[in-house]
Structure 1
């Protein structure tokens, strides 16, 4: 048992899906997994294990932001031996052609976080996805007619920016969207030599100002889930 996850040894599968929202974890378990049972309720951060097409899969809420996500990723890897970490989250579009409910597969994650500054002094570390998970996700999407975008995303430490125009610099350099966890996920996975991939569905657009409701963010990400579960 770990500090933030009360599961017993063997209760968590090798592959774990990581939504930030614990209620999305509950929705995923109830919607997609057979015989799902709740193994964690510490701090209300729900975790479940069940079967998807006969394979064991777990889903664990990870909270908002890199510091929160790293707590759960570290414990899942080091206390429970998890091998595949797949973020399933929401993001804000930085590009006009990337619309609400579009799916983005993060090849790499830029960041405004200082999470790696003490590790790589006076240097820039570039966290990237596991190629194995990335190529499998892309192939599944193409074979099943699910449109996706793939490229660089920004993992931001701030949800509410002081400067509403700040996104334009990142957009000019080809960053597709902004979220809050991928750079931390990719870094901790690389450190511990496990696989990680971040999939996000566009919930709002900084270009147009459009946004999904809180309920839509929680329950409307079915196609992204289909891709994520295909990797289990």
Structure 2
């Protein structure tokens, strides 16, 4: 399709949302939520091209330990994450790993450690729509294994596990959503429900990443740094070291996958 249309609003091969075009995107992509984290992580790359920012989407491509890598922010929640995934896929991405934060639901998963998501349960509308197109909330086993192995090689703690994703940051994560001086509180039942379904953490994008990615033919996974622990009420004040370690772990996992693919060729 060469002409812009309502059904496919691209122009000159450029997407309507991401600030980039043909040839700008590497096959391996990391997706943090916050566009400011794209710039934080770009400092760890070499030969970087910064394509700028449009809305919640910031995009850079550079070299990390000898491999080409794109970092693209997803924004918060399912709708903006779907937009980034679809446009990245059309632009040539093959493998995408979400790198972001989550709240642990169990005391033994401490802040500052990591989880490689193997399955996501959730209440996100975007993922529900893509399930009808064949998407399943199951991460690529190769990516999960690669993330856990890479973390171990770097001396970092990373477990695999199931997480819950929700479109709600406050109510559906049992946070206070009324004024602080209001004595009423939430019912506190959402987290108990997630735990009952085997979730060890809660966040907002993994179900969308894995389900949409699977439906459109991408190999996907999620590596989450634990920013908060709802069992102990601990909160990680300085997240920058955790974010940088997310890149180190995921970058190494991508390298091992690329080596595996080359050895099979």
TM-score (norm 1): 0.90
Q: Which residue of 2 aligns with 1:193?
A: 217
Q: What is the alpha-carbon distance in structure 1 between the residues aligned to residue 31 and residue 56 of structure 2?
A: 15
**Residue aligned with 1:46, SS:** strand
Q: What is the alpha-carbon distance in structure 2 between the residues aligned to residue 94 and residue 34 of structure 1?
A: 37
Q: Which residue of 1 aligns with 2:36?
A: 23
**Residue aligned with 1:220, SS:** helix
Q: Which residue of 2 aligns with 1:81?
A: 92
Q: What is the alpha-carbon distance in structure 2 between the residues aligned to residue 52 and residue 129 of structure 1?
A: 23
Picking from 65, 88, 91, the partner of 2:102 is 91
Q: Is contact 1:21-1:218 (8 Å) kept?
A: no
Question: Is 2:239 the partner of 1:217?
Answer: yes
User: Aligned runs of 1:1-150 on 2, under 5 Å?
Assistant: 1-30=14-43, 32-43=44-55, 45-78=57-90, 80-118=91-129, 126-150=136-160
**More divergent stretch after superposition (39-48 vs 94-103):** 39-48
Any idea what the Cα deviations from partners look like across 1:167-226, whole Å, max 9, x if unmatched? 02222332110111111111111112221010000111111222123xx23553232221
Picking from 208, 227, 231, the partner of 2:249 is 227
Q: What is the alpha-carbon distance in structure 2 between the residues aligned to residue 175 and residue 149 of structure 1?
A: 13
Q: What is the alpha-carbon distance in structure 2 between the residues aligned to residue 96 and residue 159 of structure 1?
A: 20
Q: Is contact 1:90-1:179 (8 Å) kept?
A: yes
Q: Is contact 2:124-2:166 (8 Å) kept?
A: yes
Cα pair distance change 1:61/1:28, threshold 3 Å: same
Q: Give the gaps of 5 or more residues in structure 1.
A: none
Report the number of matched residues.
226
Cα pair distance change 1:142/1:218, threshold 3 Å: closer
